[in-house]
Amino acid sequence: MAVEVTTLPSGLRIITDAMPNLETASIGVWIGAGSRHESASEHGLSHLLEHMAFKGTKRRSAKQIAEEIEAAGGDLNAATTSETTSYYARVLASDTGLALDIFGDILTQSVFDPQELEREKSVILSEIAAAEETPDDLVFDLLTDAAYPDQPIGRTILGTPERVSSFDRSSIETYLTRHYAAPSTIIAAAGAVDHKAIVEEAQTRFASLAATSAAQMAPAHYVGGTQLLKRKLEQTHLVVGFQGASFHDEHEFALHVFCNAVGGGMSSRLFQRVREERGLAYSIYTFHWPYADTGLFGFYAATGHKDVAELMPMALGCLREAVDDLTEDEMQRAKAQMKVAWLAALESSAARAEQIARQHLFFDRVLPREEIIGRIDALTLADVRQAGAGALLSAPTLAAIGETKKIMTQAKIAEFLA
């Protein structure tokens, strides 16, 4: 990696990673603000702001924004997570200046036209309605709500229809001023990039970003709990979760390996026992989501209503047994999967740009690949088992949609794992 970093006097960071032989560049702006930074009255505002950024500025209409980037063969997109918001593009090497000009325009000169705002609110209301009709996604919203009750991290990124409908231009501008500050903003680019040229463009395009520190997000407190939603569906969608590891937790890599070993692939014991041997689920897998100060670990399954009662203890048994008898071979397979997935992502300029931005947001530095691979290779079987055991000691979180009568209770899950 040929990473270069420049921090401007305002606190704005510019990070580039040159990739020889490429003729295109992935470039974007990452803000250290997402749904976790919202107050209860702002629920869904981060996501609405991401949408509204493309709806017109003092210099460009929404149509002109789209036409300019597409005339150059590029494309624009954006994403909101619980902890970050990003705006990114893929362009020819010669058009990184155009991309930065558009980013600077939409992030510092947006007009938030009331008519555009009403239209975009309608789009998001449709997005919320669609999410409500997608049980394999909705069940994870129930999970985070149960795991982190009455906390920003537990709320959906999209917001609620009532709250989204209430937002006006003043709401957006207040949030933008408070959170979109230079010290919490990173411009990252990878591919055919010229670091010096990008720094010069950024100095001009983002000069108006305030140098003040952005407001901090609310700390997370994992609680655990239950959220069941009875619906007439062909399958029951269920998730059982536990407290995982944060980005800064010394056990994060070990828990990732435990997660992959138990349910991360077709050779995993969870897939083999539950799906292949018993045919109790078409889809079943483990997951681990690290955040800045917490994490969620668990498994998801979609199963027939009659199979729920058998699936749950079998899946939980796979987790419990792995704490004591996970093998060296299983661990090595999981390590290999983890390394290949991570290294393969680095072959994409978009993935590299995102990675260097996120690492600087969470660690204030870019982690060398040798360091990451070294940390994975250094893990012992005892480390991995210990990380899994620690997660299973936390209070369980249970979420399900469908027929819920045969689902184990939170108390029964805790008793089973004790």
Catalytic residue numbers, as ranges: 50
Q: Provide the pairing of β-strand 24-31 with 185-191.
A: antiparallel
Strands 13-18 and 185-191: parallel
Residues near 328 by beta carbon (within 8 Å), at least 6 away in sequence: 381
Cα dist from 290 to 36, 318, 373, 386, 392, whole Å: 14, 22, 18, 17, 16
**Secondary structure class of 213 (helix, strand, coil):** coil
Q: Which of 244, 161, 184 is nearest to 34 (CA)?
A: 184
DSSP-assigned letter for residue 110: B
- Report the first-to-last Cα separation within the chain, whole angstroms: 46
Using alpha carbons only, what angle is made at residue 147 by residues 141 and 152, rounded to the nearest 5 degrees?
70
138 with 401: CB under 8 angstroms?
Answer: yes
Q: Which two tokens stand for residue 237?
A: 């969608």
Which of the 8 DSSP states describes residue 57? B
Distances (CA, A) of 216 to 33, 38, 99, 219, 298: 8, 10, 29, 9, 28
234 vs 48: CA distance, rounded Å: 33
Following CA atoms 306, 312, 314, 320 in sequence, which dihedral angle do they give, to the nearest 10 degrees? 180
For residue 189, give both structure tokens. 């680019």
Q: Which residue has the tokens 């009662």?
A: 309
Exposure of 71 by Cβ count < 10 A (0-12 exposed, 13-18 middle, 19+ buried)? exposed
Cα–Cα distance for residue pair 44/33, rounded to 1 Å = 12
**Helices marked H in 16-89:** 45-52, 62-71
